[in-house]
Structure formats: structure tokens, C-alpha cells
Amino acid sequence: MAHNVSRRSFFKTSFMGAVAVAVASAAAAKETFNPLTAEAAEIVAPIKETSEFPYTVDAKYQRLPGNKLLYQRVFDPEENKSPLKFKHDDVSKITGKKDTGKELPRINAETLGIKGRDATLTETGGIFFSHHDGTVLPLRKDELGWRELEVALDVAAWSVEYKFNGFTAPGSGPGGVIAHYPFNPVTNESGTEPVVIQGMYSWDNSKVVERRGQGRQWKFDSGEEASRIVKKAARFLGADLVGIAPYDDRWTYSTWSRPNLKPFKLPDGSGRTEYFPTDPYKFMKGEVETFGQTVFDADWEKYAGFKPKSVIAMVFEMDYEAYRTAPSILHSAAPGKSYSNMGEVAFKVANFLREIGYYAIPSGNDTGMSIPIAIQAGLGEAGRAGQLITQKYGPRLRIAKVYTDLELVPDKPRSFGVREFCRLCMKCADACPSQAISHEKEARVLQPEDCGPSENPYTEKWHVDSHRCLSFFAYNGGDCGNCISVCSWNKIDQWQHDVARIATQIPLVQDAARKFDEWFGYNGPVNPEERIESGYVANMVKDFWKDTEPTK
Ligand code: SF4
Ligand code: SF4
């Protein structure tokens, strides 16, 4: 006799059955969203919302100074006096594996022509930046994925971020863009002296003062209506995902800072001048000299003219095809493209708010920490590798935000099983060439002794050694991206994410869930050497350049 059991109650009574059905149907529909797996995930692993920030923040927590962020410290002359140190020189006790990252700083130093000692943070950062602006070709320049062709795509992808968004490396706060070749609108001649203008992350709120003076501040019927309209505008203007967080002082850097620049005459006989944060003439001789940083108190009233009430957090997807080529420099074009887009969209969203009479500060990585803001805005969870993981794109994304004095109704933090999955998965930690990502099973409240100078203690997470990561970037050419590329949540299609969600509820299959990707041929080898030596990266680079999308 046939039992009249609905699919819903079947799922409720059989977790294993749910997984079996989900996997079978997912396998049958490899490239598509699958409603059956989505329904199974909703029943077996329903999304949970919390009203508070979902991870422990100890009472001893203090805001991180913006000038202590890794990419800001590069410009601190003190950081150029001694070799870059890892938090743990030997991580084999944690990983049980060979410590492949140990020799990296010496390799970095040799790319600068330095023999016999390890590189400083400044030298390591200098090499990293010079790969991204095409000044120095990577050591691996003869390998597919690191050739001058791929370097050119990387430089092009980053060019808007570097040339137009503003010098907004993390923590820079109010800043500007240097127009190196301005023209005189009266004579139509190009000038030889640079001028500083506002970039995309412009702090210019003079329009708001004007609008309010004209009595033209738009009044919404309710906070709910304001939130809906602002989200619609942000999506229309180019954000892939949008959430609203309440303004929370904890995530604003305690200081803002930016590197000092000096003018240098170009050696091309043009008589033109450019500003640089490092001495370009010394750099060409293998020496890195920086000019320090200017540090500001993080004073909203003084620099922005208002105290924020809400933060609009926006997610920008990074290209899947490019990310499959990680750790090639071709993959680095994907974050470059998203960083470049972030500035444009954040600028537009800020200008929408300014037009209707509300203060707005568009922000990339500067001013405050984007990941906890995005978590508060309900966009995703924090994974093992320290990245935001969303349901739609996993960690394959970048985040921009807009601070405003418009009162919006915040979203709630949401959990869909990432933290539980990360406890057992560890794929990113296994794929990390510099062994920077902790293999500890549980996330925990990190103590000062666990953290380097750019890593904030007293919050609950897994440790990631940013010095090891940057060292590999500099050695590798471009950056790396293995941790994002191999993550089970990063694929374009939805069904694998739903299977992963279901698996978080079933300890026996969690390990198998990690292997689904490998069974279905996604993401390539996890072992970092094998990714390259097996030819996987080279094949993905060839695939990338094949024209698979219509161009007309
Ligand atoms: S990008 Fe990720 S995988 Fe690569 S070195 Fe850094 S932490 Fe490791
Ligand atoms: S690879 Fe695995 S452990 Fe790492 S962030 Fe993704 S799900 Fe978590």
C-alpha cells in the first residue's frame, strides 16, 4: 500500500534521506539551481536569524587602529628596519604537515636582489604592489597564468581602483585622487604639475548642506520604506547583494591614516611630475624607501560632518572563471575588477543619498571593517579563512559600504550553517600555500598572544596569519586566492550550497560534503603544489581565454 507521505514530512523524518535525494537530484542537474535541494535545505537546515552580533566579542575588545592594518603598515618606516616575522614560525604542530611557508620571506627578498637576509614588511609589500601595477613582472612570468598577457589583464582590472577610487588602502579615511596630467580648460594645455581631486570614495557632502538649505530633504513614510528604497537603488546602481546594518562604533577603526606621498620628476624628459608613496628611483635599484603615514583621529563630526546612524553594506561578486585559475595572477584580475566596481557603485549610492538630503560616506576597505558590518547586515557568516561567506557567492566577493545619517531599519544577522561546516571542512586551510589559516577545529576568542599586529584579538574566529599570506602574495606574483577558489560555498550554482547546508546537520556526512566538489569535478586539487603541478591551473587559464560568451 502506498503511504501518503508528503515530501516535506519525508524530509523532516529522514535527514539521510534528504541528503540522498538532494545529492541524487543535484547530480542530475549539475549546472542548475535545484528546487528539491533548496526545499530540503530549508527544512533540514533552516536559516536562523539573531538579533545580536552572532560571535563573541570579549569585553576587552578594542577598535583596531587604521594605521596598524597590514597594507598601511607597509608605509611605516619602522617596518622597514627588521625582517617580517610570522606569528608562528613552525606551524607543523597545528597542521601536522610540512611548513611550506617558512622560506617565503627570503625568496621575497631575493626578488628584490637582496641576498642573505629575509625581507621586511615594507619590501614584501613593495613587491606585492609592483606586481599589481605592472612595474615588476612576477618570478613565474614564463608560466601560463603569470605571463605578461595575464599581468596586463590584472593591471587593467585594478586600474580604476588605483587611479580613480582614491588612495583608499584600508584605514585611509578622508582622501583624494591625484590627477597627474590635468589640463588647463582655458589654454587646453596639459599641466606638468599634479593636482589632488576627490576620488570615488569622496567625503564631499556639500550637496547635502545645499539640499537642506533649500528645504529639499526627502521624507520617507517609515524606516521600512526608506530601507526598501535604498536597497532598490543600490541594486539598480550595481551592487549584487545589499543589506542594512545599524551603525556600530566597534567596527570603525580607532584611527584613520594614509601614506605620505612625495613628488618625483619623471625620467622621460617630459618634465612631468608624479607623486609616489615610495622612492621610485631607489626602487629601481632594489631598495624600498617609504615616507610614513599621516594618522587622523577617527572623528566623524570633524571629517565627515555627521555621525552615522546606518550602514548600507554591498556585496560585489568576483568572477568565477577567473577564480578557478587561483593562485595565478590572472585570478587577481577578479578582485581587481570588483574593487574597481566598488568605488563606482559606492559613489553613486552616496550621491543618491546626498541628492535627497542625507549625509553619506562611500567606503571600500577604508574607515571601518567591512566583514562584521556585512554580518550585521545579514549578508552572510564569517568562515574559517576570515572571509564573509554568503549563500549566493560563498566567499567569492568583495564588500563596499556607505555610512549615512538616514535612519534605516537594519537587517538581522543570519546563519545558514557555514560555521558548523567550517569546523570540519578545513579545505581552505589545506589549500593555503603559506599555511596561514588555522587548522584548529573550533573558532575561539583569540588572545593577544595569538595575533600579529594587524590582527584584532578578543573576537571569536579562526586565526589567519596575514604576514604569511602577504609573503606568499609577493613570492607568487599577484596574490593567491586558493582559499576562496576551493571553498565549497563559492560556486555559481545554488544546489551545492544547499547540500552543504544539509550536511552541517548530519555529522556522519560532513566530511563527505566537503568531498562533493571533488567528486563533481569542481575547484580542482586542494593541495597547493598539485594545483600547479597537475596542470590544473594552466588548463583553467586556457579555458578562461576561450571565448565562451557572446561578444555581439
Ligand atoms: S590567499 Fe588564502 S590560501 Fe592564499 S596565502 Fe592567503 S590565506 Fe593562504
Ligand atoms: S573552505 Fe571549508 S573551512 Fe574554509 S571557509 Fe570554505 S567551508 Fe569553511
pLDDT at 534 over 70: yes
Q: Is residue 493 part of a domain?
A: no
Ligand number nearest to the C-alpha of 100: 1
CB 88 within 8 A of CB 439: no
Q: Is residue 259 part of a domain?
A: yes
30 vs 525: CA distance, rounded Å:
19
pLDDT tens digits for range 204-237: 899 999 999 999 999 999 999 999 999 999 999 9
Q: Which atom of ligand 1 is nearest to the CA of 482?
A: 3
419 vs 437: CA distance, rounded Å:
15
16 and 105 in a single domain? The answer is no
Region of poorest pLDDT, from 185-189, 366-370, 404-408, 444-448: 185-189
Ligand number nearest to the C-alpha of 435: 1
Contacts 24+ apart (CB under 8 A), 282-290: 283/126, 283/130, 283/135, 286/112, 286/113, 286/114, 288/80, 288/112, 288/120, 288/122, 288/123, 288/126, 289/80, 290/74, 290/75, 290/76, 290/77, 290/80, 290/122, 290/259, 290/260
pLDDT at 187 over 50: yes
pLDDT of residue 37: 79
Q: Is the CB of 433 under 6 A from ligand 1?
A: yes
Q: Which atom of ligand 2 is nearest to the CA of 387?
A: 5
Q: Residue 468 C-alpha to ligand 1 middle, in angstroms?
A: 8
30 and 161 in a single domain? The answer is no
pLDDT at 2 over 50: no
pLDDT of residue 101: 65
3 and 72 in a single domain? The answer is no
Q: Is residue 264 part of a domain?
A: yes
Q: Is residue 550 part of a domain?
A: no
Q: To which H or E segment does residue 275 belong? A: strand 273-276
1 and 107 in a single domain? The answer is no
Q: Which atom of ligand 1 is nearest to the CA of 385?
A: 7
36 and 118 in a single domain? The answer is no
CB 314 within 8 A of CB 349: yes
Mean pLDDT of 323-331: 96
Cell of 213: 538649505
Q: Residue 383 C-alpha to ligand 2 middle, in angstroms?
A: 6
Measured in degrees and rounded to the nearest 5, phi and psi for residue 327 equal -100, 30
Q: Which has more pLDDT, 373 or 164? A: 373
Mean pLDDT of 426-433: 93
Residue with the smallest CA separation from ligand 1 atom 5 is: 469
pLDDT at 112 over 60: yes
Best mutation site among 390, 425, 499, 511 for ligand 2 pocket (most ligand atoms within 8 Å of CB): 425
* Closest to 275 (Cα-Cα) out of 158, 195, 157, 198: 195
| Amino acid occupying residue 146 | W
Bond before 327 cis per omega within 30 degrees: yes
416 vs 428: CA distance, rounded Å:
19
pLDDT at 466 over 90: yes
442 vs 384: CA distance, rounded Å:
9
| Amino acid occupying residue 93 | K
21 vs 170: CA distance, rounded Å:
45
**119 strand-pairing partners:** none
Write the CB contacts of 9 (distance below 8 Å, at least 6 apart in sequence). none
Write the CB contacts of 404 (distance below 8 Å, at least 6 apart in sequence). 308, 309, 310, 311, 312, 350, 353, 358, 359, 360, 361
Q: To which H or E segment does residue 351 belong? A: helix 329-355
61 vs 59: CA distance, rounded Å:
5
Q: Is residue 258 part of a domain?
A: yes
pLDDT of residue 7: 39
368 vs 238: CA distance, rounded Å:
22
Q: Is residue 151 part of a domain?
A: yes
Ligand number nearest to the C-alpha of 487: 2
Q: Is the CB of 474 under 6 A from ligand 1?
A: no
Q: Which atom of ligand 2 is nearest to the CA of 514?
A: 2
pLDDT at 18 over 60: no
pLDDT at 16 over 60: no
Q: Is residue 552 part of a domain?
A: no
Q: Residue 486 C-alpha to ligand 1 middle, in angstroms?
A: 11
pLDDT at 458 over 50: yes
329 and 343 in a single domain? The answer is yes
Ligand number nearest to the C-alpha of 101: 1
pLDDT of residue 19: 42
Number of compact structural domains in the chain = 2
Q: Which domain holds residue 68?
A: 45-487+523-545
pLDDT of residue 14: 40
> Looking up cell 612625495, which residue turns up?
262
49 and 8 in a single domain? The answer is no
Q: Residue 127 C-alpha to ligand 2 middle, in angstroms?
A: 29
9 and 151 in a single domain? The answer is no
The mean pLDDT value of the chain amounts to 86
Give the pTM. 0.91
Q: Is 540 helix (H, G, I), strand (E, B) or coil?
A: helix
Q: Is the CB of 481 under 6 A from ligand 1?
A: yes
Q: Please report, rounded to a whole number, the percentage of residues in the chain having pLDDT higher than 70.
A: 87
pLDDT of residue 158: 93
CB 488 within 8 A of CB 514: yes
119 vs 108: CA distance, rounded Å:
6
Q: Is the CB of 483 under 6 A from ligand 1?
A: yes
pLDDT tens digits for range 255-298: 988 888 899 998 888 888 888 889 999 988 888 999 999 888 89
Q: Is the CB of 472 under 6 A from ligand 1?
A: yes
Q: Residue 480 C-alpha to ligand 1 middle, in angstroms?
A: 6
Q: Which atom of ligand 2 is nearest to the CA of 423?
A: 3
406 and 269 in a single domain? The answer is yes
Q: Which of 31-45, 192-206, 275-289 has the highest mean pLDDT?
A: 275-289
Best mutation site among 455, 469, 484 for ligand 1 pocket (most ligand atoms within 8 Å of CB): 469
pLDDT tens digits for range 343-402: 999 999 999 999 999 999 999 988 999 999 999 999 999 999 999 999 999 999 999 999
Mean pLDDT of 33-50: 82
Write the CB contacts of 176 (distance below 8 Å, at least 6 apart in sequence). 166, 167, 196, 197, 198, 199
479 and 406 in a single domain? The answer is yes
pLDDT tens digits for range 43-100: 888 889 999 999 999 999 999 999 999 989 999 999 999 999 888 777 665 566 666 6
82 and 69 in a single domain? The answer is yes
Q: Is residue 164 part of a domain?
A: yes
Structure confidence at residue 171 as a pLDDT band (50, 70, 90): very low
Ligand number nearest to the C-alpha of 472: 1
pLDDT of residue 318: 97
Report residues whose beta carbon is within 6 angstroms of any ligand 2 atom.
383-385, 421-422, 425-428, 486-489
Ligand number nearest to the C-alpha of 395: 2
Q: Residue 198 C-alpha to ligand 2 middle, in angstroms?
A: 39
7 vs 360: CA distance, rounded Å:
48
181 and 313 in a single domain? The answer is yes
Q: What is the DSSP string of 426-487?
A: -HHHHH-TT--B---SS-EE--GGG--TTS--SBEE--B-HHHHHHHHHHHSS---HHHHH-
Q: Residue 437 C-alpha to ligand 1 middle, in angstroms?
A: 8
pLDDT of residue 150: 97
pLDDT tens digits for range 116-159: 888 999 999 998 989 988 888 998 999 999 999 999 999 999 99
Mean pLDDT of 489-496: 77
> Looking up cell 599586529, which residue turns up?
453
